[in-house]
């Protein structure tokens, strides 16, 4: 069996790339500098825009376009229904979190998600080469607008069924995300996430056989061996997240970057909410059987905000904008 370079070449030609490699969209960890470096090397830049207001999205695109002519993707999570609030449970989580960091304000969970429709309009105005989704499918009217604007839709799928659904809904490319992936997993139904874990080696060929659109592989790819394996298994390109976070252009807080360098694959854990992060003391305790389950997204993000800020100041390893337990 040999590497079908034609498939990767066709993908590169279609999206204006020199290399079949994509920077993974990572909310809170995609500064313009990282995309500029990636794009100037001939790969696809990326911005995880989940936590960004329309003005911040526009500023990101302006900065990147001022310093590179390459293509990039913007990414949004498809919104969950408003979270069911449970004050008694949130109090339990607050008390639990206070064992690891500062006091958690009584209103810390009152987090209002950003306006998804306004974020979508911001993306349409920028007209990036690619808009990608995770956690579900985009609403049909947004998909129509993407198509009319000539913007490709890359849909993240963590199972064969999700990949088929994405293709049926009009996705131009399926991003097959193996369970090795850092950050949150893109399963459409969070309740099924722990039951439907599929490793990238098994997922790529199964998705490639199930859909006609090109497949991008992501999850645990960290060097040329991983890229070659993904292409051999039928992917048209590889998307890399964690491995690029230690580049100077990622401007990661040294505490987080140093922790990544020390982390072996088996030292990361699955949280109760389909995510994968460094197994800090907090993550290990929070995923123990006797820990309170995390509050729904984005309430948990609000509850853990103070702890994450303090962890950074004191040299902990938790990301400033990201928590495995969200
Ligand atoms: C810190 C971090 C944040 C992430 N945020 C997002 C996000 O906002 N949207 C998304 O589609 N994927 C997100 N991901 C997942 C990546 O896009 C990608 O699937 C994953 O990084 C691939 O696995 P790897 O980290 O082993 O390369 C995130 C990953 C990390 C590590």
Q: What percent of the chain has pLDDT over 70?
A: 90
CB neighbours (10 Å) of residue 288? 8
Ligand 1 within 6 A of CB of 319: yes
Percent pLDDT > 90 in the chain is 62
The predicted pLDDT at position 269 comes to 40
Q: Which atom, in ligand 1's list, is nearest to the CA of 156?
A: 11
Please tell me the predicted confidence (pLDDT) of residue 321.
Answer: 39
311 Cα: distance to centroid of ligand 1 (angstroms): 21
Q: Is 222 left (phi over 0), alpha (psi -120 to 50) or beta?
A: alpha
Return the top range by mean pLDDT from 28-37, 110-119, 191-200. 28-37
| Residue 110 CA, ligand 1 centroid: distance in Å | 25
- Distance from residue 185's CA to the centre of ligand 1 (Å): 8
- pLDDT for res 3: 63
Q: Across residues 222-245, what is the average pLDDT?
A: 97
Task: List, for residues 284-319, the tens digit of each pLDDT value.
Answer: 777 777 888 888 878 888 888 888 777 766 654 444
| Conformational region of residue 127, where left means phi above 0, alpha means psi within -120 to 50, and beta covers everything else | left
Query: Among 46-60, 76-90, 124-138, 249-263, whose mean pLDDT is lowest?
Result: 249-263
> Which residues make Cβ contacts (< 8 Å) with residue 190, sequence separation at least 6?
80, 135, 273, 274
Q: What is the mean pLDDT of the chain?
A: 88
Residue 174's alpha-carbon distances to 201, 223, 306, in angstroms, are: 16, 21, 36
pTM (predicted TM-score):
0.88
Tokens 């197994």 -> residue: 279
Mean pLDDT of 14-23: 98
Angle of CA points 94, 271, 171, to nearest 5°: 120
């Amino acid at each position: 069996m040999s590497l079908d370079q034609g498939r990767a070449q066709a993908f590169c030609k279609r999206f204006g790339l020199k290399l079949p490699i994509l920077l993974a969209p990572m909310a809170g960890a995609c500064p313009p500098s990282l995309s500029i470096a990636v794009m100037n090397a001939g790969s696809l830049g990326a911005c995880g825009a989940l936590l960004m207001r329309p003005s911040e999205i526009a500023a990101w695109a302006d900065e990147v376009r001022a310093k590179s002519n390459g293509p990039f993707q913007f990414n949004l999570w498809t919104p969950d229904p408003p979270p069911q609030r449970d004050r008694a449970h949130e109090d339990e989580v607050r008390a639990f979190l206070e064992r690891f960091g500062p006091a958690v304000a009584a209103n810390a969970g009152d987090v209002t998600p950003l306006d998804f429709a306004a974020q979508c309009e911001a993306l349409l105005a920028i007209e990036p080469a690619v808009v990608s989704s995770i956690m579900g499918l985009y609403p049909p009217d947004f998909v129509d607008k993407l198509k009319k604007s000539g913007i490709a839709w890359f849909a993240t799928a963590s199972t064969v069924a999700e990949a088929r659904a994405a293709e049926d809904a009009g996705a131009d490319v399926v991003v097959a995300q193996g369970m090795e992936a850092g950050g949150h997993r893109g399963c459409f139904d969070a309740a099924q996430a722990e039951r439907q874990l599929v490793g990238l080696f098994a997922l790529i060929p199964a998705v490639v056989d199930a859909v006609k659109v090109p497949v991008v592989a992501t999850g645990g790819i960290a060097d040329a061996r991983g890229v070659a394996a993904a292409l051999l298994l039928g992917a048209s390109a590889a998307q890399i997240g964690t491995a690029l976070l230690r580049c100077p252009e990622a401007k990661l807080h040294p505490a987080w970057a140093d922790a990544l360098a020390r982390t072996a694959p088996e030292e990361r854990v699955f949280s109760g909410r389909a995510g994968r992060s460094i197994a800090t003391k907090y993550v290990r305790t929070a995923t123990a059987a006797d820990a309170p389950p995390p509050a729904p997204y984005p309430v948990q993000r609000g509850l853990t905000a103070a702890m994450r800020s303090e962890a950074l100041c004191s040299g902990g390893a938790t990301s400033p904008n990201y928590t495995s337990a969200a």
